[in-house]
Structure formats: structure tokens, C-alpha cells
Amino acid sequence: MPDTATLHDEIRTLARERDAIILAHNYQRGEVQDVADFTGDSLGLSRQASETSAQTIVFAGVHFMAETAKILSPDKTVLLPELSAGCPMADMMTADELATWREAHPGIPVVTYVNSSADVKALSDVCVTSANAVAVVRSLGADRILFGPDRNLGSWVARALPEVEVLLWEGFCPTHERVTPEQIAEARKRHPDAEVMAHPECRPDVVDLADFVLSTSQMLRRAADSPADEFIVVTEEGLLHALAKAAPGKRFVNLEPRMICRNMKVTTLEKVRDVLRDGTNEIVVPEDVRERALTAVQRMVAID
Ligand code: 13P
Ligand code: SF4
């Protein structure tokens, strides 16, 4: 089996030959993050996908991220190195379910987390990411919204904007939902001087115990800017690789047991190389779905 440096060289050469850009989410394996042109959170990567001049986008992430890239950049070829990399939370709300929910609440704006299928986005008024959910909902000026699929991110929005009634879909991220307040208390006991950064996909009783509630890239910025030297990182453990690069010399601890999203880990360097070499695993979004999803996704990338 070739070593990491050899695979990196091979991938960089193939990317040049194919006029490809490699985007990697902050939860990807460290060696995959290291070969990417850009790493980031869902919002940052969506913006990269919409702005690139490269002909091909290789998305080291999960399916909805590659679909979002295709919605924004229909003329590009979008390749997903491992097609089975899904998001269990995105699967918790189908387009049929959303259509029924929407019909039961006529006139109420549908706000959808980017962790959702293209079909679901096509039935949505606006999409959000963890980085801008509160700002996007505030910008609507609505007094009631439907929010899905993540009940935890929806609860976070509801608490930030008490003037808005947020009707929640009951989806969640299995990796973040597992975290308990007891685990945070235990980690604080072991690291009393650490700052606690939690992702808004965590349960409200966990978010309550955090010093900061942030998207993954916001955590990278906070770690670099904060006066603290130690951080308890309450999100998927792949971010620790990015944190070590963003704030060298600082200490980062994940919870015990570590938080791992299997879907984010199925992408390997070999699979990135294979799709670049063979042009396989192309993501296709039917044009009528893409057109209906586009406005919601464009509104998402426009707001900070
Ligand atoms: P962000 O990187 O946008 O915070 O998203 C977290 C996540 O769970 C992506 O699946
Ligand atoms: Fe989905 Fe959670 Fe994995 Fe993100 S970390 S892809 S929300 S299951």
C-alpha cells in the first residue's frame, strides 16, 4: 500500500490534470484534510463550491454536501469519493414528510438545515448551516417557522430568538445527540481551566453547559483568538486535526468516548485518488429539483 506522501503526490497530480478542486469537511480524516485545497464547515465549503473556477469538485464529505455543491454549481462535475457516505440526520426527514408537514401549516416559512437531501431543500424557503442559522432566521422577520431536520439546532435558534415560535422536526445527529451533561461536567473536572466549545447539534442540556456554541470553523477561529490554552471540544473528533493546525501549541480534548461520525470517516486517500483518476461517483441532481432548491441554498450562502 502506498504511503501518505506518495498518495498526496498522486492526488495533487491527478487534480491538476483534471482541473479539479478538492474540498474537505473539518470532520474528515487528517490525511484527507491535508491534501485538500480547502477545508471548512458546511457554509465555507458551499461558498467555495459556488465560487470555484475549477471544472471538477471532489467533495471529501458526505452526500448532502456534494449535492449542495451541485445545486450551486450545475456546470461543474461533482465527485463524491465514497457514495455510501450519507448523513443519518438528513435521512430523518424525507420530502414526502416535509410536504405533509408544510401542508398542515400553510403560510409558515420552512427553514431547513443544510444537512438534508436536495428533494427536501426543493420544498424549503431557506436553508441554514450551523454557522448562520440564527442570522438567517432573524433575517426572515417571521414570527413562526417550521425548522428541520435537526431539533437541537432548531432549539438553539429558538432560544436565541425568543420572539420567533420555532416548530421543530424531531431529527438529530447521532454523533452529537449521544453527549450528556455528565460527560461535560466530568471533562470540566479533569480540565478546570479549559474553555468548552460545543456544536449546536448537541442537546439543549449540553449546550447550556458550554462557554461557546459554534460551527466547526467558528471553533477554529475561537481557538486561535481566545486567551485560553486548553479547550474541551464537543463535536466530531476530526476537528482536533484542524484545531492543532489553527492554534499550534494549544491543547484540545475531545470527550470520552470520542465523538466519531462513521460516515465522515469512510472517505480515504485511496478513494479520493480513485475518483480523480477514473471520474467516477458523479453526483447528479435532477434539473427540476435543483432549480427549486437553488433559491433556498443561495439565500443560505448569502448570509453570515
Ligand atoms: P459544520 O461544520 O457546518 O458546523 O457542520 C457540522 C456537521 O455535522 C456537518 O455534518
Ligand atoms: Fe450527519 Fe452528524 Fe455525521 Fe454531520 S456528524 S454528517 S450531522 S451524522
pLDDT digit string (tens) for 61-95? 999 999 999 999 999 999 999 999 999 999 999 99
pLDDT value of position 238 = 98
In short, whether 115's Cβ falls inside 6 Å of ligand 1 is: yes
* Cβ density class 86-102: b for 16+ within 10 Å, e for less: ebbbbebbebebbeebb
Report the residue among 89, 176, 178 best suited for mutation to probe ligand 2: largest number of ligand atoms under 8 A from its CB.
89
- Spatial strand order in the sheet of 20-25: 38-40, 20-25, 56-60, 77-79
pLDDT digit string (tens) for 18-31? 999 999 999 999 99
Report the residue among 263, 265, 266, 267 best suited for mutation to probe ligand 2: largest number of ligand atoms under 8 A from its CB.
263
pLDDT value of position 1 = 79
| Atom of ligand 2 minimally distant from the CA of 175 | 2
Contact 298, 78 (CB under 8 A): no
Read off the pTM: 0.98
Residue nearest to atom 5 of ligand 2 (CA): 261
pLDDT digit string (tens) for 266-280? 999 999 999 999 999
Distance CA 252, CA 250 (A): 7
Does pLDDT of 118 surpass 90? yes
Residue 173 CA, ligand 2 centroid: distance in Å: 6
Residue 13 CA, ligand 2 centroid: distance in Å: 30
Q: What value does the mean pLDDT take over residues 203-211?
A: 98
